[in-house]
Amino acid sequence: MSLGDLMNQLADEIEPRALPSAGDIRSTGDRLRQRSRRRVAAAAAAAALVAVAATLAIARPDTPTPAPTGPIDGWRVTRTVEVPGSGSIFYGDRSLWVVDNDDQGTDADGVPTGDLYQIDPESGEVLDRLPGAVGGWPSVGAGAVWLSTPSLEALTRVDLDSHEISRVPTSTPERHPNGTAVAGGYLWVSHPESGDLVQLDPKTYQPLQRIHLGDIDKGTAPRSIVTDGDDVWASDDNGLVTRVDGRTGARISRLQLPMRQPLLDVLDTSRHILYAHELRSNVLIEIDLDQEGRTWQGRELTVTRSVDGMLAGALIAGDSLWVATLNPDELLRIDPETFEVTGHVPLPGINHESNVPLAIATADNRLWLRIEDKVLELESDR
């Protein structure tokens, strides 16, 4: 049976499991967390995320399109976990975290009605369910999960030890943040409306400095940010990528990309490469972190043959670059050395015409695909 057949079988035929109450989940989770931490006490925390936009795009005709390839060898679906709704998925502090944004719903007091689920990646068991801890553009660092919550115009902080939930305003007047990065021991927050990158003390939440990158109406405000733990990269709608020192805030470099509204996908720290794509586009580009000068030079790849295709997200797992696409709705494996597609598989449960969100996460040699009401886990057998 092919990987595509397995994914369809697991996604469509698995017997759904009703989730227990938040109290029952926490009681079971306390026991499982202790067991998991004893088993991996020496492991270092890590985080990976992909933000997804579900709208159509037009492909650039001047870039090569991937040749037809076969299924992805060496990877298999190992588990399906039932998690309601849709939202972000990311790995950090030895756990998988899954957001149910509940269609951005709020209660009578304006508190978000969705949930954040903590899942043990080894057993697939839900360790905790955290009501109201929702949002997008997640990151993990400085002892917490950080989520940008537009309905509150603030960050939502979840303490990794106690799971206490805090709301963190990051601007005056309050404006909703659009992404975070923990670098150099500090929390960095992107604010498109003010055009600022804000450095915060992650313990006191006090702003330490604001770096004004530009104005949103001129396309020079920060849109997307990523970090390697030391430096921060921020892109604006005009295609300019600014790199700053995560500790001091000093501007290290500025690089002009051949696209507008770039989204910074993932850093490959071993190869010193940053991958990015244009919003509502199906073209992936490489950014050499060691490149000198302000004009981009590198490779680009059109990841769908359809002119209406769209790149939904990219990440690194094992020795490969992985890309999720919409129209066609597929998971692609790309060789980072040749920058060519080496395998693909259809994504079950995704229908690009209905705007069902898709998110992917990774840790070690595992991939997780977040589709509506489910999480699919893939693992390498090599």
152-156, 339-343, 353-357: which range is least confident on average? 353-357
Using the predicted structure, report yes or no on whether residue 68 has a pLDDT greater than 50.
no
Q: How far is residue 85 CA from its own chain's centroid?
A: 17
State phi, psi for 218 to the nearest 5 degrees.
-105, 0
Confidence of residue 46 (pLDDT cuts 50, 70, 90): very low
pLDDT higher than 80, residue 374: yes
Q: What percent of the chain has pLDDT over 90?
A: 56
3-state secondary structure the chain: CCHHHHHHHHHHHCCCCCCCCHHHHHHHHHHHHHHHHHHCCCCCCCCEECCCCCCCCCCCCCCCCCCCCCCCCCEEEEEEEECCCCCCEEEECCEEEEEECHHHCECCCCCECCEEEEECCCCCCEEEEEECCCCEEEEEECCEEEEEEHHHCEEEEEECCCCCEEEECCCCCCCCCCCEEEECCEEEEEECCCCEEEEECCCCCCEEEEEECCCHHHCCCEEEEEECCCEEEEEECCCEEEEEECCCCCEEEEEECCCCCEEEEEEECCCCEEEEEECCCCEEEEEECCCCCCECCCCEEECCCCCCCEEEEEEEECCEEEEEEECCCEEEEEECCCCEEEEEEECCCCCHHHCCCCEEEEECCEEEEEECCEEEEEEECC
- CA separation (Å) from 124 to 81, 95, 130, 261, 382? 7, 10, 17, 36, 21
pLDDT of residue 271 exceeding 50, the answer is yes
pLDDT of residue 231: 97
- CA-nearest of 77, 115, 94 to 364 is 94
Query: What is the spatial distance between Cα 139 and Cα 127, in angstroms, rounded to a whole number?
Result: 19
In 3D space, the residue among 210, 303, 293 whose CA is nearest the CA of residue 256 turns out to be 293
* Residue 132 main-chain phi, psi, to 5 deg: 85, -10
CATH fold of 3-375 reads Methylamine Dehydrogenase; Chain H (2.130.10)
pLDDT exceeds cutoff 70 at 60: no
Instruction: Indicate the range of 44-58, 186-200, 261-275, 299-313 predicted with least confidence.
Output: 44-58
Quickly count: other Cβ atoms within 10 Å of residue 364's Cβ: 12
What is d(CA 236, CA 128) in angstroms, rounded to the nearest whole number? 36
Q: What is the pLDDT of residue 164?
A: 97
Q: What is the pLDDT of residue 43?
A: 33
